[in-house]
């Protein structure tokens, strides 16, 4: 019997600094209800889906900063999402800023969770590849202070749910082949990935025209090379003066995009995802047990940055 999951990539248009959690959650609920009406069992929301992408500003005031984080999940404003999910029997993935207290110390993470169809959290992921910078750089048109606001997570795990093996990652993680492969080595069948990607990349403006191409390139390659579904979901449009790419899409294990959003606003892209499709890639071209050569890959975990060979004498 096939294992089918009807999935909605629930793209969000901009969220502004002044938008209340209640107003944002109302938009998420609208997505949940519409996805349910269209027969979905799983809805995937973007990275930092409850707030504006606040790492574009340097904030020093602790109280102002804390307002962007969730100290509990579900919390008073988000509980309705879990209750509605349980009522509708629809699961969801959502990204948010997490404020944790570990051994009495405040820790901050860029986090996503996976909630099953009974409204229960079955997995939590903390972003590993934090892009940007840690210092205030006020001369930039907008900053990317993820290294200031968050600590990195430390693993790529997978969870059993939705009749399959589910994985999570966040935004910049999608550009790194290790993200997919570590989950591929755990048999992942669907990777959910929320993102906030500005069109303009201040450190390399020459890449701006290629931002959508790169977005698709990395997710399509990751899906194919690991025989897995990938669901990439954007926060899109002009958010506080920063133009964000959209392009939320659902990618099959073949690497083909099977559904995509076409606007820069709140929009659903829906696909009927057959998890059994993964098998034909995982048991042939990408049969890891048969074809991989880990003994040739040791540099991947031993070395972080590239070291070029010594120049040959003239």
**Nearest CA among 233, 227, 220, 228 for reference residue 191:** 228
CB of 240 to ligand CDV, least distance (A): 14
Closer residue to ligand CDV (CB): 114 or 234 = 234
CB of 55 to ligand CDV, least distance (A): 8
Closer residue to ligand CDV (CB): 94 or 278 = 94
Alpha carbon distance 92, 122 (integer Å): 10
Structure tokens at 6: 């009807």
Closer residue to ligand CDV (CB): 73 or 193 = 193
The contact set with ligand CDV (CB under 6 A) reads 47, 131-132, 144, 171-172, 175, 195-197, 201
CB of 148 to ligand CDV, least distance (A): 13
Alpha carbon distance 45, 10 (integer Å): 5
Closer residue to ligand CDV (CB): 227 or 247 = 247
Closer residue to ligand CDV (CB): 40 or 193 = 193
CB of 217 to ligand CDV, least distance (A): 12
CB of 46 to ligand CDV, least distance (A): 10
- Give the catalytic positions in this structure: 47, 127, 171
Closer residue to ligand CDV (CB): 74 or 131 = 131
CB of 231 to ligand CDV, least distance (A): 16
For the residues of the chain, what is the DSSP string, one character each? ---EEEEEEEEB----TT--HHHHHHHHHHHHHHHHHTT-SEEE--TTTTS--GGGS----HHHHHTTSBSSSS-TTTHHHHHHHHHHT-EEEEEEEEEEEETTEEEEEEEEEEE-TTS-EEEEEE-S---S-SS--TTSSS---HHHH--------EEEETTEEEEEEEGGGGG-HHHHHHHHTTT-SEEEEEE--BS--TT-GGGGGGHHHHHHHHHHHHHHHHT-EEEEEEB-EEETTEEE----EEE-TTS-EEEE--SSSSEEEEEEEETTHHHHHHTTTT-HHHH--GGG-THHHH-SS--PPPPPP-
């Amino acid at each position: 019997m096939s294992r089918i999951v009807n999935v909605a990539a629930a793209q969000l248009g901009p969220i502004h600094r002044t938008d209340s959690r209640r107003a944002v959650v109302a938009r998420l609920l609208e997505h949940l209800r519409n996805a349910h009406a269209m027969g979905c069992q799983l809805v995937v929301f973007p990275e930092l889906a409850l707030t504006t992408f606040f790492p574009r500003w340097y904030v020093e005031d602790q109280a102002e900063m804390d307002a962007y984080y969730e100290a509990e999940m579900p919390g008073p404003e988000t509980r309705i999402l879990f209750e509605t999910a349980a009522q509708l029997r629809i699961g969801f993935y959502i990204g948010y800023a997490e404020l944790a207290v570990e051994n009495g110390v405040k820790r901050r993470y860029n986090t996503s969770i996976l909630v099953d169809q009974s409204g229960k959290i079955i997995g939590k992921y903390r972003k590993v590849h934090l892009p940007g910078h840690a210092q205030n750089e006020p001369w930039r048109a907008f900053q990317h202070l993820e290294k200031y606001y968050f600590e990195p997570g430390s693993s790529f795990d997978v969870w059993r749910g939705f009749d399959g093996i589910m994985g999570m990652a966040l935004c910049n993680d999608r550009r790194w082949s290790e993200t997919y492969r570590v989950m591929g080595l755990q048999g992942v069948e669907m990777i959910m990935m929320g993102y906030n990607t500005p069109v303009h990349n201040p450190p390399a403006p020459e890449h701006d025209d290629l931002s959508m191409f790169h977005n698709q390139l990395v997710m399509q390659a990751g899906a194919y090379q690991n025989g897995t579904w990938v669901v990439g979901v954007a926060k899109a449009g002009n958010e506080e003066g920063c133009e964000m790419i959209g392009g939320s899409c659902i990618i099959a294990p073949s690497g083909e995009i099977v559904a995509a959003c076409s606007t820069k606003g709140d929009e659903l892209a829906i696909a009927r995802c057959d998890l059994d499709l993964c098998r034909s890639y995982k048991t042939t071209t990408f049969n890891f047990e048969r074809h991989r050569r880990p003994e040739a890959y040791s540099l991947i975990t031993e070395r972080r940055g590239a070291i070029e060979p010594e120049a040959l004498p003239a």
